[in-house]
Structures are given as C-alpha cells and as structure tokens.
Chain A
C-alpha cells in the first residue's frame, strides 16, 4: 500500500525536525546487535546513508523503483555490497534498515498514521538490501570459482618454444574450456610451437574429456602449433581404444619426458653428451 503524498509530507517533516535524535537512537539500537564489529563512527555513517535513502523515498514518490528512487537504490546497494564483503549476514543488513521503525515510533508527535506511511517504504528498502546482498554473494562466489580455475591450470614453459600444461584432477566442461583458452593464449604470448598436455594427473578419461582434449589440439593446429599428449597410463589407453576414440595423427607419449624429447627434436634441437676426460 503506497503512502500518499500528504502522509509522506508529514513523515518527512517528522523525521527532519528530529533528525539528530533519529540518527542517534538509530545507531544506538543498531549497535546492540552489531556489538563491536563496527566502530561508532562507521555505524553512524552507515545509518546516515540509510537515513538519506529513506528521505529520498519519502520526499520523492514513495517508490524505490523508478527514476526518482535511483539515489536511494544506489545508497542501499553500496551498503549491501560493503556489508556482504565484510561478512555481515543479510538479516543484519536488512535489520539496520528496519530499525528505523522502532525509532520513528518513539518520536514525540509521532502518530500511528505516520508508522503506516513509513512501514511500506522501510519494507521495500529492507527487501532491496536483502536482494542486493544475495546478488553480491553470488558474484563473489563466481569470482572465486574463476580464480580457483585459473590457479589450478598452470601453463609452464619447458624450453624455448615448448610449453606444458599438467592437467590434474577431473576435467569437466568448464575447466576444459579454461584450460583450452589459457593454453592457446600462452602459445600466442610465448610464440611456442609446441604444447605438451600431460594427463598423468587425470584419473579417468571419458568421451567428453577426450573431446575437449581433441578440440584443443585441433585449435592449436589451426593456429600453427602442435600439441603432444603425454602421461597416458595403460588403463587410459585401454579406455580410449574401447571407446573408439581416434587420436588420428596426434602424437601421444607415455611420459612428459618422452614428449619433451619429441618436441625438442621436432624443433631441430640435437642432443649430445659431452665426452668425459680420460
């Protein structure tokens, strides 16, 4: 139920004429539950922001959505995001907003009609902070997942023109994508003609995993580089054959060492043992 303009006008006057008291009691009430996790100054500043957002709605059209609510939404979003990162719960964040209800009720000259006008506005604000909080947590988790994927797919330079990607753990679609993109970009960045994809640490290879590896090899070839697959354990070799996966003319080696020798020879490097002095 939207508060009408008249009621909001009264509310605005009520709040503004008791501004200092409102802010003080609001901060006090909030600090009871937030005990010690924020300094007084920080809490007061936050309360002031929410107060500003509330006034924005009251003096505007009473709606949080829409053009007039823009600044209020911005203030609440900032609060939500900051508190989400600082580890406050979404309830605590919303409660900071809801606290103003009890504060307003205790103001001299406040009437039930004022609370009726205030309530829907505060409810909208509280719900908005809750929603923003949830979205922020989601994006933090998404970022962390991405970082984790990045960390777990190192590309190492073994020699001039030879890089290696040791794959460890299960290779799902998401990871395979990241690995592929990272490998291909490294080929460009280092100007390496050879990439060794070592799957010693991959417990099982199914059709999907094989597809991903094959796609990576074909893409690298299109760009002008060759991939060698190493670390193929006997069980994997058998699985590959049983599944009918064709590696075609892609070079496969049992060990990373063999793969490195192959890559070096292919790039024209010759090995010679120094003769020992008698």
Chain B
C-alpha cells in the first residue's frame, strides 16, 4: 500500500497528494496525519491536491474528516490547488466539502493559517518561544 508522505515545515504539516488515491491509502493518510499532529504539536495542516484529477465523494469525505479531526486537535486545515475541472464536477455532484477551508495555493494557505493563529492570540513563531517555559 502506498503511503502519502507528511512533511513538517515549522509549525505546519504539509501533505502533497501525488498519486491516484485508493480508499485504503486515504484512510491511512487520515490516521497518519492525526498521529503527526499530536506528535509534533503542529497548528496547521496544508493539503495540496493540485495533482488530483478527480475528487469523488470518498476523497471529499476524507478531506472533511481530516479538517474536523485536526480542529479537535487544535490544528487548522487548508486544502490548496483544487483544479477548475474538479471544482466544477464537485458542484455538479452536489458535494460541498463542509468545514474544509480552501486556498488557491500554498502561500495563501500559510497566510490563512497565520491569521487563524493570530486570532487565537498565539503567533506561529511565538508559540515556540512560549513553550520554552
């Protein structure tokens, strides 16, 4: 079974889905991500789906679940890079991806995550320093 790699960059976990995702791999990714969030104390998750040619209901549910579980673990999730054809298909399919924040690219996602942390009163980098106590 393929495993989707999860990269840690500072306070953010970055997942770039480059393969044709089968259901088992998707479920494994959900698990791996929650493990890594707890392990690293990450406060942000960015999922890059720019290589995904389709998003069907299973993958849609996976994204919603990841967003929901991450939120419980105090991390915000942003999905980036959705292709126009995929977006158009999702609208037709009636899939709304509730609870999933999206951004056009990783830069914008980082902005969103930075703002989210700021609103929570804890800066991205400041958290590191605070933890020292």
Show the binding face of A for B, using Cβ within 8 Å. Answer: 180-181, 184-185, 187-188, 191-193, 215, 218-225
Contacts and interface: CB of A to CB of B under 8 A. Distances in A.
Nearest to B104: A224
Contacts of A221: 102
* A-B complex: 10 closest residue pairs judged by Cβ atoms: A184-B84, A224-B102, A224-B103, A219-B87, A222-B87, A223-B82, A224-B104, A223-B87, A219-B91, A218-B91
B87 A191 contact: no
Nearest to B50: A188
12 contacts: A180-B88, A188-B83, A191-B107, A193-B108, A215-B91, A219-B91, A222-B82, A222-B90, A222-B91, A223-B87, A223-B104, A224-B103
A181 B78 CA distance: 23
A209 B40 CA distance: 49
A224 B79 CA distance: 9
B102 A188 contact: no
A188 B91 contact: no
A220 B91 CA distance: 10
Contacts of A225: 104
Given A223-B84, A224-B80, A187 B104 contact: yes
Given A219-B90, A222-B91, A223-B102, A185 B108 contact: no
Given A192-B104, A222-B82, A222-B102, 16 more contacts: A181-B85, A184-B84, A184-B88, A187-B104, A188-B104, A191-B104, A191-B105, A215-B91, A215-B92, A218-B91, A220-B87, A223-B104, A224-B79, A224-B80, A224-B82, A224-B101
Interface in B96-132: 97, 101-105, 107-108
Nearest to A217: B91
A219 B88 contact: yes
A181 B104 contact: no
Nearest to A187: B104
Nearest to A219: B87
A221 B88 CA distance: 11
A224 B108 contact: yes
Contacts of B105: 191
A219 B85 CA distance: 9
Contacts of B103: 224
A218 B96 CA distance: 9
Contacts of B107: 191
